[in-house]
Structures are given as structure tokens and as C-alpha cells.
Amino acid sequence: MLQIGKIQTLEIAKETKFGLYLIDPDGNAKECVLLPKGETTPEMQVGETVSVYIYRDSEDRVIATTKFPPMELGDTCILTVKEVNNIGAFLDWGLTKDLFLPYKQQTRPLKAGQQILVALYLDKSSRLCATMKVYEYLKNNAPYQKDDRVNGVVYEIIESFGAYVAVDNKYSAMIPNKELHKNLRPGELITARVTNVKEDGRLDLSLQEKAFVQMDSDALIIYRELMKSGGYLPLHDKSSPDEIKEHFQMSKNAFKRAIGRLYKDKKIEIKSNGIYTVK
């Protein structure tokens, strides 16, 4: 059976002036697809097999190509936007016919040159299209464990839950709200730490290091800011989480741990109106 959006190894059934007609050796012999003459080589002979990608050309005909795009049906991948109009966007995926991203499948406004994460699906007319609504296409069998460092792209932010991330562009993960101590935006590339692998295989992430590691770097950030400010900052362990987050991009707990370390090391004094460097 010929499968649109898949790489298949097919048998060369017939040669014509237009190219080679291919069939699935295990399928219906009457079902064939053309590999255009411009993509054939002298080594391709009737009875031999060839690996091809099946898609629809600009005239909506099912056709084969030896050029393999970076994704098959159901996969996710980062692609570049080539053009945007009032019906959707067109993405560069290495084939002559650009990949169509319908307007209804976009999750935010786009412009040419942007790189975006998309999934590949078949629409109701069996045409290959892209969607930015990738949640259901991401895999939940990531080869990572708690405390591993991972790279990913933020593809959606829901204020009541957190930031949704595609680790390695294909594994499902989330940064819960309680771990969002800096502003992120969709499309942003991040490095994070795995804090939990859920029963369903999805990952929870944090932008912070483990507490005992993060404490030293947080303490350094605070101390440098103190020095820049002339040895005083109007923040202390009673300051609100929002004030601390706005100033240092860290949680209140992280801030308290850090100033506790600085106090223990006799670097600062903690007073009711803020923190001071020790002179």
C-alpha cells in the first residue's frame, strides 16, 4: 500500500519517458506511483527496489521523490516560514512544493523567516499539511531521567498551567507555573533540568539547578547586584515573591537560600529595610 507522507521501499515496475512507475512489492500491483525522470539514475532498473518519499505535487498528484524531507507523517520538526498570506503560511521542508500551514492550525501570528515547531498531518483531502498544535503529536518515551539536562523549544504558554516544551523537538514536557521564574515566549529555545518523569512518560522541567547548586550562582548574582547598587538593596526575606522575581528572576525560596548563604559567609547584613554588604 502506498502511504502519503512516508518513506517507502518500492519496486520499479515500468520505465516510461516520464520516469519510473513504482509499486509496493507486498501490495496491490495495480497501485503505482511515478518517480519523475529528473530524479531517476541509470542504476535504477525494472525489478530493482528504490527508497522514496510519497507526497502530492503542485498539481495535487501523488508522486514519489528521492529527496527526503526532515519529517514523516505524524512527526514534529522545526521548519522555516517562507511566506505568509491570508489563508495560511508556506514552510520550507526541502521539497519543490512547500508545506502548507493552514491559518486555523496556527497558534500565533507568523512572518517570513521565522523558525517554528510543527507536526505533519493529512487533511480531509489527504493532502500533507503542517500544524502548530503539536501537543498530541509529541512522544512520551523520552530517554531522560530525573536531573538530566535537556534542550527544547517552548511551543505554548498557558498561564494557569505553565510553559509547554518539546524536548529535542519531539518529546512532551512542561515547565509548571511554580518553576516559571522568568518570562518565556513561544518559539524560545531553552535548556532545562528534568524534575520528574510522570507515569505517562511526559517530563516536568525546571529552569533552575538543584537547590544546592543553584544557591551558589544565585548568591553570586545577588552579591554582584549589591555591589553595583552601592552595597544596598531594598529586598529581604519578607519581600513579596513578585518583587524578587521582577528584580532577580528567581523564586522567593531561592532568594532566601542565597541571602542565607551570603549572611552565613558574612558577606551581607539583613535588616528590616533590605540587605547590605558587610564593610
Output phi, psi for 33, to 5 deg.
-140, 145
CB contact at 8 A, 172 and 147: no
Condensed to tens digits (0 to 9), the pLDDT of residues 192-234 reads 999 999 999 999 999 876 544 555 778 888 888 888 888 888 8
Instruction: Give alpha helix (H) positions in the chain.
Output: 211-228, 241-248, 252-264
* Cβ pair 81, 98 in contact under 8 A: no
Statement: the pTM of the whole predicted model exceeds 0.75? no
User: What number is the average pLDDT over the span 110-123?
Assistant: 96
What are the structural domains of the chain? 7-65 (2.40.50.140), 76-134 (2.40.50.140), 138-206 (2.40.50.140), 211-277 (1.10.10.10)
> pLDDT tens digits for 229-268?
888 888 877 888 888 888 888 888 888 888 888 888 888 8
